[in-house]
Structure 1
Amino acid sequence: MQPVPQEKIIKEQVEQKHNPYLKVSGAFMGIAVIRQFFYPPLALLNLILFTYTAIPCFKKAEQSLLENQRVYSYVIDTLINILCLATGQYAAGALDIFFYHVDQKVITKIRDESEQALTDVFEQQPHTVWILKNGVEIETPLEAVNCGDVVVVNTGEMIPVDGIIIQGNALIDQHALTGESQPAEKAIGDKVFASTLIVAGKVDLKVEKAGNETVIAKIGQILSNTAAFKSNTPINQLFQC
């Protein structure tokens, strides 16, 4: 049995930390409805559950204002929760808190799946490529490829660089990059991108970008640098033209 990577364990722990809050906020929502319409003495229990489930949102709102000095959606959620608490509308507050935790879990899952998909793509990249020099194909480490080199890619091989076809034609599966379900026909003069797969054919590519400069690498960098997707979008940016 292969050991589970430490990074994967950490990601699973981060995702699972939302589960207790989801369960408690779900119970809170049910109890809040019972309290509001059937049994008012449950107010104290509602207050305890409200405080427990709202703490993560309050902490992020504090970080947003004090550290980032920006108004993120956490601040709006916190204001709504405080208003619900002040007016005794526990059911409405419970609903808002429940959806907050659902949102956080979904965002975490989407981010992890996106990062894993990109990781899988990078792991499939070949460690060596065939560079054409003076009519001879020379096996070369991928990290040693430079702009202007001519790379030869055959059927069944993944394209390791961004470049332009200067010889040959091929049917290329681009779904990993563009999401297209059908392979695209590429010929001399067409651009091709790293992480796409040659289904049929053979091409010589003039390298335009390699390594961290490829399109797929830049997409990975963007996702890695995005802290929390839409939940970290400043409110003032939402209203900018």
Structure 2
Amino acid sequence: MPHLLIIAGGMITYAGIRWYRRSKIEKTSNADEDMLTPKSKTEQVVPENQQLSEMNYAINTVHQDFTVASISFALATVAPLFYSPLSLASAFGVSYNTTPIWQKGYDSVFEHKQLNGPVAYSVLVGSFLLTNHFFMAALINWLFYLSKRFLFLFKESFQKSLVGFLVATEPPDSVWLRKNGVEIETSLDSLKAGDIIVVNAGKMIPVDGFITEGMASIDQSLLTGAADSEPLEKKAGAHVFAFTYVLSGQIYIKVKKWGRETYAAKMAAMYS
């Protein structure tokens, strides 16, 4: 019995730490997305390692989330047989896993007026928790994160095969550079850090940088490899990456890196 209590206590501590770190990272990410273009020439764009962290945050949490889901399911399974209060530890783990989904479900209903997967999942798991059906809540939670783990494994395979695509696909030879209020066509190789280029709907973004003007829906799935990746709405201050696509809108981008120095090029080099 004591060893079960130790496991439960350890899981609660671990989940609590992860919960705190997740909320801290999400707040940082949201602040970065909403920040305005730097006003001073001496101000720096967010460091590259932070950009990469933001891009891969969802991937890096898959293992931890699955671990919490597995322990929660195990505790819910043994609780009726050995020590019923372990069900509360299981419920805590399920709540930790489900909190981001509850938030998405809330936003879908009250902000977007939509009924979708997160809403259904939130109602289902929430109902089981409120009616003390902890085993069913933990089972559904575990199956959900098991599927996410399989998607992650698929993503790794996808990213490795993506290397060939990134190597074979060339960015556009020319870009539209805004200079002295006029847009002129110039070669990609002639760009320098700090230049402002314009990218329209249907075009590939050829550089890493941040948006100075405009708003656009951007598809980053080629970089993230996430099967459930949705286009991101980005506005002034948000970072953008080469080999992503503008689905709609028009944006002006302040160039930071291009060519072999871009995130996509470095990712290709890492997997090759």
Q: TM-score range by the shorter chain?
A: 0.3 to 0.5
TM-score (norm 1): 0.45
Q: Which one has the largest radius of gyration?
A: 1
TM-score (norm 2): 0.41
